[in-house]
């Protein structure tokens, strides 16, 4: 089994913020599905099949800095190994429209990733990082306020990444993390 975790902050106030890129991508990817709320884990989830594997998509309903509580709950409930955890989240070091897969790296100052590391006791899980920063014509990246609202154009760009993220997830689940990194990075 795999847990695919989209990070964000709950509530309408944060819905279109850059920090909610994980929620935005998973919500768009599964927009016609009915998410279920689990009060014990304080998490919305949707179960699906990818290839031969059961996959549970999660959107923690804690605030970002407590995301690890919901991830730990789901990990323990389903007895998922760390290799089965994939976190989709905003990365301020990448420009809007870019996606990068990484594994077992630092949190880069991201409070959601920091919380997951603390609650799992490790950084040994896969990340799908969604770019949220502005890129100038010369390639320089300007880092915005993560709680700032996406422009309409940037929001659409992030939503369009949902098909790429879906392909990445399918590759991770069916062929493995290394295959996904080789194909998409």
- The span from the CA of 51 to the CA of 126, in Å, is 19
| Rounded Cα–Cα distance for residues 30 and 114 (Å) | 26
Active-site pick, 19, 78, 103, 110? 19
**Is 19 one of the catalytic residues?**
yes
Catalytic amino acids? 19
């Amino acid at each position: 089994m795999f847990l695919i975790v989209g990070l964000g902050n709950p509530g309408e106030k944060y819905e279109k913020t850059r920090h909610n890129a994980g929620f935005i991508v998973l919500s768009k990817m599964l927009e016609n599905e009915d998410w279920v709320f689990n009060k014990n884990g304080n998490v919305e989830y949707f179960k699906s099949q990818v290839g031969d594997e059961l996959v549970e998509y999660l959107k923690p309903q804690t605030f970002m800095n407590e995301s690890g509580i919901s991830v730990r709950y789901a990990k323990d409930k389903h007895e998922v190994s760390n290799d089965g955890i994939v976190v989709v989240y905003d990365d301020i070091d990448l420009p809007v429209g870019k996606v990068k897969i990484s594994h077992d790296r630092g949190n880069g100052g991201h409070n959601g990733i920091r919380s997951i590391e603390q609650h799992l006791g490790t950084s040994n899980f896969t990340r799908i990082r969604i770019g949220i920063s502005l890129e100038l014509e010369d390639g320089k990246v300007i880092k915005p306020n993560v709680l700032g609202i996406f422009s309409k154009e940037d929001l659409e760009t992030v939503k369009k990444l949902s098909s790429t993220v879906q392909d990445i997830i399918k590759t991770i689940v069916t062929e493995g993390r290394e295959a996904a990194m080789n194909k998409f990075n």
